[in-house]
Structure formats: C-alpha cells, structure tokens
Amino acid sequence: MKNKKEAVVVLSGGQDSTTCLLWALKKYEKVYAVSFDYNQRHKKELECAAKICEKLGVEQKVLDMTLLNELAPNSLTRDEIKVDESAPETGTPNTFVEGRNMLFLTYAAVYAKGRGINDIITGVSQSDFSGYPDCRNVFIKSLNATLNLAMDYEFEIITPLMWIDKEETWELADSLGGLDIIKEMTLTCYNGIMGEGCGHCPACRLRKKGFDLYMSRRKQI
C-alpha cells in the first residue's frame, strides 16, 4: 500500500522548491526536505534552505553531490564562467547543470524508499523551463518509470508547478500563506543576492516579471 501521509521535497532554497515545500506541508502529515551540496557558487542557497526548514519545522537532509561540479563545471558552480544573460541560439544555457535533476531525484528516491515514502515532490516547471531539458514533463514521467523499475517500488514524482508560470507560482505561494517567506527567505538570483536579487540575471528577471504581474492582478481583485 502506498504511503500518502508523508512526502520528500527536493529543496534548493529557491522560489519554486520552497513553494512546493509550503504546498506539501498543507497536503501531508509529515514532510522531509532533501537538499544538495554540489559546490554551488552561492552557498547562501543552502543556508536559505536550512533556515526555511528551521522556520517551518521540517527535517532536512543535506546530501553531498560535489562530484557533479568536478564532472560538469558551469556558471552556477564556477566563478570564472559568466552567467548567460540570454538564451543561446542552440543548446542549453550555461546555467544548466548536466544531469542535476536526474541525480537529485534519484538520490531523493533512495532516501524516500528508506523511509517507506512513495511521494517525491519537485518544483520543476515546463512552463518556465528556460531551456533545461530535465524540467520537462516527459523527462519526469520517464524517470519516474525508471526509478520504479530500478527499485521495484511505487514512487510518485509530483510536480505542482509543472504547468504554471512564475505569476501563478507567486499566486500559489500567496494562497498557501507563504508570500513573505518566498519574498524574503528564498534565493533565486544567479548572482547570489537574496530576496529581490540582482535584478538583471535571467532568474531575477523571470521572478520579478511574475511577481509584478501577480501583484497588479491582486490589486484588481
């Protein structure tokens, strides 16, 4: 029988995964967070995740994935690689970390099975996928099938943000009573600046555009 009372949330400390954590806390009796240390340039991201877990009373496990940075250096892990400010004409942007979501979800699944948990929640979104192939629904479905076969277990990878954009993600956080937590405690900026961020990197622009759209809509309600 499936365990529908507990879930594991993959938590980076950014807007999307924190919104998923808030969502899971309403839906499940017990929620565990799994975060990954992959030598990201901004250690603050992990600090944010830890503080968010502390505030919300969530047990957090941080797993060492520093090997990932050694194998596939990119602009989020190396200071000397400048963040692409716009999408390249071909291929993935240099903020893409090769294999990240597959590895993270696989480790989260091993952790979940160890606790008899079936549901794994991740904040990936095809609407805002920014050219990252491992944020697409087809990949999540495929990995879900693979994990079930690999471990002979019924995992369910749940993606509350898959078909919504940033504006709706802000709306969801607000409806869960977490607008201020997202605004003040999360780190989305590729340049490592908390809250509103640097304002010009692709992640900041996406976050701000969604926020402004949601705020102007909320005023009209």
Which residues form the interface with Zn ion (CB under 5 A)? Answer: 189, 191, 197-198, 201, 204
Q: Which is nearer to Zn ion, 85 or 180 (CB)?
A: 85
* Least Cβ distance, residue 194 to Zn ion (angstroms): 10
| Rounded CA separation 65/84 (Å) | 24
Q: Which is nearer to Zn ion, 70 or 85 (CB)?
A: 85
* Least Cβ distance, residue 84 to Zn ion (angstroms): 13
* Least Cβ distance, residue 62 to Zn ion (angstroms): 24
* Least Cβ distance, residue 204 to Zn ion (angstroms): 3
Q: Which is nearer to Zn ion, 151 or 206 (CB)?
A: 206
Q: Which is nearer to Zn ion, 109 or 201 (CB)?
A: 201
